[in-house]
Amino acid sequence: MNQTQNILDVTKEQSEKKLMLEIVDLRKSFGNNHVLNGFNLELFEGENLVIMGKSGSGKSVMIKCLVGLMQADSGSIKVMGKDITKLNRVELDNIRTEIGFLFQGNALYDSMTVRENLEFPLRRHKKKFENLTDTTPLITEALESVGLAHTVNLMPSELSGGMKKRIALARALILKPKIILYDEPTSGLDPITSKEIIELMRRVQKQYKTSSLIITHDVDCARVVSERMILLVDGTNYAEGTFTELASSNDEQVKAFFK
Ligand SMILES: Nc1ncnc2c1ncn2[C@@H]1O[C@H](COP(=O)(O)OP(=O)(O)OP(=O)(O)O)[C@@H](O)[C@H]1O
């Protein structure tokens, strides 16, 4: 099969899939510091898309724009077809229930038990769970999916770093999100725990059929979880492709990502 046919097949396959997230020409500057310079992204249903970028390349700024914590100067961000830059607070809150976040620092509440940490999003998004009288089945299901059902009454201080990461993932999953956003999921973890988290991400993807956007520096993580990758350089898409395609590139800037 020739390359043109290949590209046509991939384009056809993608056009038949549902677009979960679409970022078009996103721009953000702080004075003369032009951080995002026309960043584009398409995340399709069920896909694992990895974004790699060096420190300072604009990953966090992109995430903040995506979750509505920062306003972009221009460009559009569509979550399941809705432009979040044009939504009011209530609409934005509703669409947020479709996105699960796994933040770098886990963001667990130290003064709450594991159960209370998991109940928090259920209480915050009451509307989605209007008819829910007993939270236990949802909490048990989320904890079982990360292999930590026995920790339900523990405090975060009683958990290891890897366990905290799993609980944070369970807390993201409890809302049954359609999209999961992972921000440096393996940062601060030892190699063995990193491997476990990567494996868990794959399992969760299968069980919950989520679409995932994964921001990472970790080449091993990208190799295992990515179906497609975008390399972010100076706030724009420098290169895109599968891990194998990018890892075998002759371009010096691309090679630097895989060293
Ligand atoms: N609120 C802000 N005000 C001014 N400049 C900012 C602000 N937030 C980010 N920047 C600038 O934007 C640029 C990109 O920062 P960003 O945090 O997005 O990088 P990053 O790719 O996430 O890096 P890292 O991998 O180290 O977290 C940096 O030059 C930073 O100083």
Length of the chain: 259
- Residue 131: count other Cβ atoms within 10 Å of its Cβ: 4
Average pLDDT over residues 219-234: 93
pLDDT of residue 25: 96
> What is the rounded CA–CA span in Å between residue 259 and residue 17?
33
Distance CA 253, CA 239 (A): 9
Is residue 186 within 8 Å of 194, Cβ to Cβ?
yes
- Closest residue (by CA) to atom 4 of ligand 1? 30
Q: How far apart are CA 236 and CA 39, in angstroms?
A: 5
For residue 166, how many other CB atoms are within 10 A of its CB?
Answer: 25
Domains of the chain: residue spans and CATH: 18-98+177-259 (3.40.50.300), 108-176 (no CATH)
Residue 31 and residue 6 in contact, taking contact as beta carbons nearer than 8 Å: no
CA 253 to centroid of ligand 1, rounded, Å: 20
Beta bridge partners of 178: none
CB 124 within 8 A of CB 100: no
> pLDDT, tens digit, for every residue of 15-66?
578 999 999 999 999 999 999 999 999 999 999 999 999 888 888 899 889 8
Instruction: Give the number of other Cβ atoms within 10 Å of residue 31's Cβ.
Output: 5
State what percent of residues in the chain have pLDDT above 90: 49
Report yes or no: 172 and 100 within 8 Å, Cβ to Cβ. Answer: yes
The interface predicted TM-score (ipTM) is 0.97
What pLDDT score does 84 carry? 87
Residue (of 238, 239, 248, 211) closest to 227 by Cα position: 211
Are 105 and 114 within 8 A, CB to CB?
no
Is the confidence at residue 133, as pLDDT, over 60? yes
In this prediction, residue 189 carries a pLDDT of: 85
Number of the ligand 1 atom closest to the C-alpha atom of 217 = 25
- 71 CA to centre of ligand 1 in angstroms: 14
Is the full-model pTM beyond 0.90?
no
Regarding the beta carbon of 57 and ligand 1, being less than 6 Å apart is answered: yes
- Ligand 1 centre to CA of 61 (Å) is 6
Q: Are 121 and 175 in contact (CB under 8 A)?
A: yes
Ligand 1 center to 188 CA (angstroms):
19
Q: Is residue 67 pLDDT above 60, yes or no?
A: yes
Ligand 1 pocket residue status of 105, Cβ below 6 Å = no
> How is 26-46 classified by DSSP, letter by letter?
EEEEETTEEEEEEEEEEEETT
